[in-house]
Amino acid sequence: MTPTSRNSGAAGRAAPPPVGRGGTGVPGWLVLLLAVSTGLTVANLYYAQPLLPQLGAVFHISEATAGALITVTQIGYVIGMLFLVPLGDRIEKRRLIAILLSVTTVALVVAGLATDFSVLLAASLFSGATSVVAQIMVPMAASLAPDESRGRVVGRVMSGLLTGILLSRTVSSLVSDVAGWRAVYLGSAVLMAVLAVVLSRALPGHAATTDLPYRQVLRSTAGFVRTHPTLLRRGVYQAAMFGAFSAFWTTISFVLTGPGYYYSAVGIAVFALVGAVGAAIAPLAGTWADQGRTRVVSGGAFAVAGLSFAVAGFGQHKVIFLALGAILLDMAVQTSLITGQHTIYKLDPQARARINSAFIAIFFTGGAIGSQVGSLAYRDAGWSALCLFGGLLSVAALLYWLTERRALTAREPDLGNA
């Protein structure tokens, strides 16, 4: 036990027992509900990506300025991860989820009614911050599952999350084509309101695991980064991967609506749907994690991510290569994320919300940087520069992974090595 966890205020409290009697120890309906809920909430971060060309025309702004909407939304998510998700260890989770979803609903209504781009930015900051509900439910699923099936349960819930990320672009494109961009935000506001009611009634009670004051909860969250080298390493891995992911998906709509393609909103929707194939690997990645293969699988994911940008870069004039690159990238990012979460959830069962908070905040910072730098690279030097940027991030993660065994310590030997 780490010094941080000894002072967590959770002495004498046991983690909630596994629920259900299925093969994973968690009822199938509950896993499905958590998967769908994480997908619907995290989708709020990505609805704007295929809308950027349309928003640029409506608000008379440049491509790089429009891309700032994605960056601001992800910054909001980082803020939520740092200041809201740690409350998952401090406040009963069902209540916290309902409160955050209520705020998300209001922010999305404001975004849908915005007449100025600055108002849309501000609303997106708030909706991004409160959409961290997804990252309260993932540690919740991990706590409900027994050790031997935790990877599978988390993998299934995370498959819902990645599906939400990828299908959000398809739904956003289709809805905006039929009813305009405002309907995307207002429709999501309705979904969040319904979800708040459903989850408040359906989720099992999940008591707080610490009674520390809020300030100390935040301090302990930062402390986990210092006391657990694995947490920082896994966060850096995913920051590079998510930076590459965000750069790709923030700019691909400009490619598909530009010379050589001139895709409509429906065309972009179909392309995004193809990319959702990558979500299918999540349960398999969870099984690999349960089998102790996380280290080798993580290295393979970084290599595949680099390959995806090579495919998309060299084949930029043929949509089949762009689609193949998207599928490979999504599979790689999902695999890295599942193996990373499986590893960090072992560090301190009584502080999973705070550990997950630090992990996601680190890698979403990478995502925010990736989306903005990617937008600038595409604006200044085109798709080839974007693919070079994404490929370099993937290679950087792979090179850092090669140092992993030397970084093992007697205190924390499990970095997912197989």
Please tell me the pTM assigned to this model.
0.72
Question: Region 37-54: what's the mean pLDDT?
Answer: 89
pLDDT tens, 88-129? 778 888 889 999 999 999 999 999 999 999 999 999 999 999
Determine contact, residues 374/246, Cβ cutoff 8 Å: yes
pLDDT tens, 238-280? 999 999 998 998 888 888 888 888 888 778 778 877 777 776 7
Kindly tell me the burial class for residue 44, based on how many C-beta atoms sit within 10 Å of its own C-beta (0-12, 13-18, 19 or more).
buried
Contacts for 224 with CB less than 8 Å, ≥ 6 apart: 2, 4, 231, 347, 348, 351, 354, 355, 358
Q: What is the token pair recorded at 316? A: 């930029």
Predicted confidence at residue 16, as pLDDT, reads 43
Question: So what's the architecture of 26-407 in CATH?
Answer: Up-down Bundle (1.20)
Question: Region 286-306: what's the mean pLDDT?
Answer: 88
Domain ranges of the chain: 26-407
Going by the DSSP 8-state scheme, the letter that residue 22 receives in this structure is S
Residue 2 scores a pLDDT above 60: no
Residue 130 scores a pLDDT above 50: yes
Among 83-92, 294-303, 320-329, 396-405, the minimum mean pLDDT is found in 83-92
